[in-house]
Each structure stands twice: as C-alpha cells, then as structure tokens.
Structure 1
Amino acid sequence: MKVLAVSYVLPPNLYSQAIQIGRLLYHARLPMAAVTGQVEALANGLDVYPDFDSRLLFRLPVAYRAPVSGLMHRIAANLLPLYARAPDEFLGWVPLAERAVVERLAQGDFAPDVLLTFGEPMSDHLLGLRLKRRYGLPWVAHFSDPWADSPFRRRFFLANIRNRQLEREVIANADRIIFTSQETVDLVMAKYPAAWRQKARVLPHGFEPDAYGDSPRDPDAPLLIRYLGNFYGHRSPQPLFEALAAILRERPDELHGVRIELVGGVPPRMLKSAAFRSLPDGLLKLVPTVDYSASLALMKQADLLLVIDAPDDLSVFLPGKLVDYLGAGVPIFGIVPPGASAQLISKLGGGVANPRRPAEIAESLTQALRNIRERRAAGTGPAWGNPEVRAAYSADAVAERFRSIVGELAGSGADE
C-alpha cells in the first residue's frame, strides 16, 4: 500500500507541526512519498529525525514565495478580510504543488494507493481536495487543530464564512478524517450530516520515549516547576501569578525551596499585573525559548510540569506539548478549562484547576507541591503517570493505530 503524504512542513523543519507529523510518519513505516513546501528554518537532533528522508521513497519539495512580505504583508492582513485567512497564507502554494504532483506521477514509477493530508496549514487539505478529484484516491485528512471552529479565527467574519465552505468541501470528500481529541470530533462534526461523522477517527500526537536524555536531578536543589511554551492571546500566566500570590499570603511556607521557570515567550503586557509584581525575587524566572531537544531535557529535569491554557467553557485542544510532557515521566499540573487536556491530565493522576478560579488553582497547586515533595523524598521511582495511559501515547502505539486507520482504506475505490 503506497502512500502519498502532503504536509507543508516535515523534518528537519523546526516547527511543532513538522516534528509531530514527522514523528507519526517516521514510525508508520509505510511505503511513502511526501509533498512539502520549502522552509528555511531547520534543526538538527533526534527530535527532528535527521534520517527522516530515509523513510521516504522520495520527497517532492515545492517552492513558494508569498506575493508580498514584511510591511506590505501586515498592511494586507489588516485591510483585506480574506488575505492569509481563507484558509491561510499558503493558498498560493496549492496550484503550484498540484502541478508538481501531476508531473511527478506522470513519470509512472510511483502510483499511490492512499492520499494523506495534514493541516496546519489547512492549504494542505485544499491540495488534497484537488488530488482527490483528479485521481480519485482514498483520502485521509488529518487535523491537528480545528479549522472553521477554531477560537483563534472567530473575529474574522468574512474569512469564517469562506473557511466554513472550504472545510465542508474537505470533510465531504475525505474518506477518513482524523482529529487529535474526541472533543474536536464533537465540535467540528456537529454541523454535518450524521453519516459524515462515521468517517471521523481520534488519533492523538505521540511522544518519542528515547528523546529525553537521562540527566539526574540534584536531590538538594530547589523543587523545580517548569512551564514550556509561549503565551499569546488569551493564554496568559496571570492565573498562575494570582495563585502564587494567594499562597504567599496564606501559606508562604508551601513555596519555601520552590523555583518556577516559564520557558518561552511571555509578552510584556502579561507582566504588569499586581500579582506578578508581588512575587519575591527568586521564586519565578523567565527563561527564553530553547530548541526542541533542549526542551525535552528540561522537562525530564523538572519536579513538576505546568500546562496553562486560555480560559474557556470547553477546550478541545490537546497540545503536542502536553503529549511531550507524558514522555518525560514527570508529574503534571494543569491550569486548564474542562476538555481534552483536563481529561488526559486527570487520567494520568495529575491535578487540574480551572483558569477562571484562582482559589481553586492555589489549593490544587498547594496539593501538587506536597505530592512532589513526597515523591522526591521517596527517591527515584518509576515514571510518573498511569502507565497504561502513557503507553497509549508512545510514538509506536500511535503509529500502529494510524496504520490501522489507513488500512481501512486499502483496496477501496474512489467513492466506496
């Protein structure tokens, strides 16, 4: 069963989507060719699989340069309602990539049995739609995030209308649709005919068990709590700041010998609150973004890992960073709304608190601190977290489920 995969970014590109999808395809071990863009940001190391192309029959990179960039790009984005939003800035790449695929397949030495497309960017799925219509291949469309239902797209009214049209075409024509959480399935498929929902499958991202290194913690060092990732939009460290301030007022001894690091970008506007300014020197440290390999080592060396998400009634997002945390085998505490992340952390045995409830965060975080003190006092033990839950997210386990989904279409006709 030969596979043609479309993913604008793949290893060794230094993007989270490239790493996550690259990991899936690397472990899938299917006879595969890949259509990609040409991206200059690269990385080296195990996490981005320097030998990735050895798993491919061939890679077909298709160059694309946006018609405008820099200041003109920003002006167009502010003035033109559809520019770079319906679905994204890679729309112009789609016809170029289609032409390249047609020319390559015309050589006759590769005839795919199944088509795979991965979004983000969602333009990958628009290329898949064209190839589906041209060749009639069974098609698996994989969504790392929601498309038309994404909360990050809500304020663009005209673009939302167009994105709903485009998404509907993709969902209607794809033979299998993969989402990373059940909550995303429920959100996206609610607006479509019930029969279409039968095509949906849930497949989370996976972690690479051997990528974290083995740096032992100093038993006499302060308890180290780390958050890794960027803050932006409504995803803010403010709920954490408020909880820490409350603990300092009511039970300051709970934070004795504790150091907290926020590794990644924090906009200056998020560091102006009274709660942040009230924190004593040495309690919280801002650390610049590190490369992916280094981030995995930092996870492994922590005593507690934080997940912080934007307030919402329900969050469908299951971030790849949380799945990476699983591989570190370190306790996890989530300041997250109800939804996919909260459910996974709870199944692992970790604590969660709603970002809209500072008192709840303070209470739950205090308990998490007590738990990690006990864990350290007990000495080195097995990896933290329900072992059955962790095992289901390993790269090999996820790849096995992925092969099963692709296998559902093996030998199927275009419209069966």
Structure 2
Amino acid sequence: MPPMYGPRATQVSRVLGRLARFGWQPTTICLAPRPGGPHWFDGASPDAPAGVELVRVPSPEEWFAVRAAWRVAPGLRDFPDSTRVWVRRAAHTAICLAAAGEYAGLMTFAQPWSDHLVGIRVHRATGLPWVAHFSDPWADSPYATPRQRSIWRRMEADVLREACAVVFVTEETADLVMAKYPGEWRKKVSIVPHGFESRSGGAPRPQDRRRPLRLAYVGRFYRGVRTPVALLRALAGLHRRESVAGTLEVLFVGPHVEEYERDAAALGIASLVRFRGRVSPAEAARVAADADVLLVVDAPGDGPSVFLPSKLIDYLPFRKPILGLTPETGASARLLRRLGCPVMRPDDVGGITSALADLIERWRAGTLDVGESFDRVAAEFDIAHTARLLHQVLLGAFTGAHEMRERGHISGIHS
C-alpha cells in the first residue's frame, strides 16, 4: 500500500478502494514505513482509499542491524524475501483483529511473497477462508536462482494447498504455476487482470508535429535481465542511417534507468535520450500523458512470456500508441495485438529499428493514433470491471467456505 513505492502498492490500493464500492469493508494490514526511508522515499503521506481501514505494522526490515545482516549474508533474504521478518508481527496483528471483530475472510497479495506466509498463519489460527492473489509466478519465476526455487517450492505448495481460492492475472501464469500440482487444485484458480483507473483529463492533446516525436518508458530495468540496450542500439542504427536529431526523443523514467546513460553515450545518442530516476505516481502519469508513444520493454525469452506488467495496463487510459518489445507469444504480446499495437522481440535490433522508422513516418503523415479496437479491448481492464471480477471471486470463496464449515468440512483452528 502507498506510501510504499511501486506498481504493486498502487494496484492493491486501487483494487481495495473499488471493492469498498461493492460493499466490502477492507481492513488492510500493511507496512508502517519510516518517512524518508527505503520504502517511503518522498515522505508524503497519502490518504487511504475511501472505505478502506489501514492498520500499519512496523517491520524490522527497516532496522539498520537487519539490513546490515543482509549485506553480510544476502542469502537470508531468500526465505522467501526481505519481508519475512515482518511476518510474525503482521500475522499477530491480523489474528488479534479477527478475534475482536467479524470478518468474512482473508485475502493476501504478493509480492512480497511473505504476505502469503502471513496468510497461512492467520488462516490456520482463525479458520477464516483465504484468497491468495499471486499475480506473477513464484517458484517458477524465470528470474529466480536455483537455490531460491528450491526454497520457494515448498512455500508455494503450502499456500496453494491451503488457500480456498487463488488469483492470477493471466492464463499463462496460472497454467505455468498449476501444471505441477494436482488437477483438483486448478479448480481454485480465477483470472483477474490488473485494472486501471479512468482518467478525468479529457481527450489526449493534439499532436504538434513541429516538435520531436516523443517516446516514453515508465518503469524499471534489471541489469542483465530486462534492459533497454537493444532499443538503444536500434535507435543508434537509425540515427546513423539518417539523423533523427530534432525528429525523435526517448525518455526513460523509473528506478535504475540512469544506469544506461553510459550505454546511450557510447552509442552516440546521448542527445536523443533522457533518463530520470524514480518519480511519484502523479509525475509518472504526467510523463505518460505528455508522450506520443509509450514503450513496453520485457525480458527476452525462448518461449511464451507469462508476464502482463501492470505498467502496460496503466498505459491504457492515456489512449496512446504502444510499442511493445516483448516475446512474440505470451500475455503482453496477445494484449498488444488485440489493441492494434506493434510487437517486436526485445532482442531484435533490426525489427525495433524498422518499428521506430514506421512510427516516425506515421508521425510525419499525421496518422499516428490508436487502432479501432483499442478502446473496446482496453475497457476489459477498467478497474470497475476487474474489481467486479475479484468481488465475485471473494463471494464464491468466502460463502462456499462458510457453508462447508457449517457442514463440518473446515476446522476453525489449526495448530
């Protein structure tokens, strides 16, 4: 939850606020971050969504001694992540709240994955029906090390065994994760995509072709995994072929993007590219609104990509053309093609060069706009729609579990 930085905090806050409109009264146990600390970089304190109660619990993960221990023994953060030290406190708080009031059920959101460990403890102690929201793969994450996967498999299996319902944001992720478990467990799964809030700013501003075509990427990169290097090389190749100074500019905004300034300079395109570190969600929205084309950059891969990054969904209300650098098959590519947006492999420098040249040509011709299917497809990801899907999941999980308990099929307390 905000003020914690990142797309997951924004998504959870957004969906809980919408669930309150369906009559739910969410009590949310979340981190009490230190102002100005690693989880609250701007020190601003946002209000809770209407109808949502926040119960903030401090975490040892912000203690200097704990962070020093992680630097000495970084492997401690693999059980399953750095938030593990918060689990006991958060679970105790939830159990006390459940004892003092009437709750229909429990829902946990990852990441961090430690949230699901809180869920196991609370579910066992209270018997409350539990919905575990996965979003991305856990033990099957392509970014995990073999050691992490070996640790996470047991934790993941415990969560999937005990949760009453499990939510993923794509069919691809659900298929990947559930393939290794009994078929009966697959019946617990529901697909609820990320959702965006509609904008109140009106129609996009008219294009001014007297200025450069502006491409913007809002998000983070991971060195050696998800990077803009192929895009920078494509831009350099295009610039060598015919100067695009004054014709095209690219802006990268988000954590760790500045690490690639040196790459841009080495390629001779420093004047065409700007890098800004992490900014507030409001500023990130302004950057997206001012762009002419928005960029999605995923990690390359040999097979289909299971990921549907929330930033792609957050782009939709701006009604801008989106250039997707993502594996040719997978969740992101499927959505982008339905929207009528181009898709290129993240490591296909030649293909990216051609895509950039095509964008410039359409910009000059005044035909750079979203396709006919864009609005219809984007509407499927409006938070009003996706929150209703989650509302139905909660009703089914909580009502069904309570009925089973009344018939003696669910124990109220687990040791």
Task: Report the TM range for the smaller structure's normalisation.
Answer: 0.7 to 0.9
Q: Secondary structure at the match of 1:311?
A: coil
Do residues 160 (structure 1) and 153 (structure 2) align? no
CA distance in 1, matches of 2:89, 2:68: 25
* Corresponding residue for residue 55 of structure 2: 60
* Corresponding residue for residue 38 of structure 1: 32
The answer to whether the 8 Å contact 2:299/2:326 transfers is: yes
Instruction: Select 1:299's aligned residue among 285, 288, 313.
Output: 288
TM-score, normalising length: structure 1: 0.85
* Corresponding residue for residue 47 of structure 2: 50
Q: CA 1:213–1:254 in structure 2 vs 1: closer, same or farther (change >3 Å)?
A: same
**What amino acid does structure 1 have at the position aligned with 2:103?**
P
Do residues 389 (structure 1) and 365 (structure 2) align? no
The answer to whether the 8 Å contact 1:38/1:63 transfers is: yes
How far does residue 257 in structure 1 lie from its aligned partner after superposition? 1.4
Do residues 311 (structure 1) and 300 (structure 2) align? yes
The answer to whether the 8 Å contact 2:341/2:370 transfers is: no
* Corresponding residue for residue 78 of structure 2: 85
How far does residue 172 in structure 1 lie from its aligned partner after superposition? 0.8
CA distance in 2, matches of 1:308, 1:378: 24
Q: CA 1:69–1:192 in structure 2 vs 1: closer, same or farther (change >3 Å)?
A: same
Do residues 181 (structure 1) and 166 (structure 2) align? no
How far does residue 268 in structure 1 lie from its aligned partner after superposition? 6.6
How far does residue 13 in structure 1 lie from its aligned partner after superposition? 3.2
Q: CA 1:342–1:215 in structure 2 vs 1: closer, same or farther (change >3 Å)?
A: closer
How far does residue 299 in structure 1 lie from its aligned partner after superposition? 0.7
Do residues 322 (structure 1) and 312 (structure 2) align? yes
How far does residue 361 in structure 1 lie from its aligned partner after superposition? 1.6
The answer to whether the 8 Å contact 2:215/2:295 transfers is: yes
How far does residue 331 in structure 1 lie from its aligned partner after superposition? 0.5
The answer to whether the 8 Å contact 1:224/1:261 transfers is: yes
Instruction: Select 2:221's aligned residue among 212, 231, 252.
Output: 231
CA distance in 2, matches of 1:308, 1:129: 35
How far does residue 152 in structure 1 lie from its aligned partner after superposition? 2.2
Within-5 A mapping of 1:278-289: 278-280=267-269, 282-289=271-278
CA distance in 2, matches of 1:217, 1:260: 19
**What amino acid does structure 2 have at the position aligned with 1:241?**
L
Instruction: Select 1:412's aligned residue among 396, 400, 403.
Output: 400
Q: CA 1:102–1:272 in structure 2 vs 1: closer, same or farther (change >3 Å)?
A: closer
The answer to whether the 8 Å contact 1:217/1:301 transfers is: no
Q: Choose 241-250 or 264-273, whichever is displaced more.
A: 264-273
How far does residue 371 in structure 1 lie from its aligned partner after superposition? 3.1
Q: CA 1:185–1:254 in structure 2 vs 1: closer, same or farther (change >3 Å)?
A: same
How far does residue 118 in structure 1 lie from its aligned partner after superposition? 0.5
Do residues 169 (structure 1) and 158 (structure 2) align? yes
Do residues 247 (structure 1) and 238 (structure 2) align? yes
* Corresponding residue for residue 3 of structure 1: none
- How high is the sequence identity, in percent, across the aligned residues? 31
**What amino acid does structure 1 have at the position aligned with 2:51?**
R
Q: Residues 94-147 of structure 1, C-alpha deviation per residue, up to 9 Å, x if partnerless?
A: 22222222222333xx21112111011111111111122222222110012211
**What amino acid does structure 2 have at the position aligned with 1:94?**
V
Listed as ranges, the gaps of 5+ residues in structure 2 are 35-39, 411-415
The answer to whether the 8 Å contact 1:189/1:197 transfers is: yes
The answer to whether the 8 Å contact 1:307/1:322 transfers is: yes
How far does residue 44 in structure 1 lie from its aligned partner after superposition? 9.0
Do residues 123 (structure 1) and 120 (structure 2) align? no
Q: Secondary structure at the match of 2:199?
A: helix
Q: CA 1:61–1:263 in structure 2 vs 1: closer, same or farther (change >3 Å)?
A: closer
* Corresponding residue for residue 76 of structure 1: 73
* Corresponding residue for residue 355 of structure 2: 364
Q: Residues 245-275 of structure 1, C-alpha deviation per residue, up to 9 Å, x if partnerless?
A: 222344x2677611111223446764555x7
How far does residue 356 in structure 1 lie from its aligned partner after superposition? 2.4
Q: CA 1:70–1:42 in structure 2 vs 1: closer, same or farther (change >3 Å)?
A: closer
Within-5 A mapping of 1:190-205: 190-205=179-194
* Corresponding residue for residue 129 of structure 2: 138
Q: Residues 377-411 of structure 1, C-alpha deviation per residue, up to 9 Å, x if partnerless?
A: 269x8898621211011111111111111121242
Instruction: Select 2:326's aligned residue among 307, 311, 336.
Output: 336
CA distance in 2, matches of 1:101, 1:298: 38
**What amino acid does structure 2 have at the position aligned with 1:34?**
T
The answer to whether the 8 Å contact 1:213/1:297 transfers is: no
The answer to whether the 8 Å contact 1:13/1:43 transfers is: no
Q: CA 1:89–1:335 in structure 2 vs 1: closer, same or farther (change >3 Å)?
A: same
How far does residue 198 in structure 1 lie from its aligned partner after superposition? 1.5
**What amino acid does structure 1 have at the position aligned with 2:66?**
S
Listed as ranges, the gaps of 5+ residues in structure 1 are 1-9
Q: Secondary structure at the match of 2:60?
A: coil
Q: CA 1:278–1:130 in structure 2 vs 1: closer, same or farther (change >3 Å)?
A: closer
Q: CA 1:309–1:378 in structure 2 vs 1: closer, same or farther (change >3 Å)?
A: closer
CA distance in 1, matches of 2:227, 2:121: 39
Instruction: Select 1:402's aligned residue among 381, 384, 390.
Output: 390
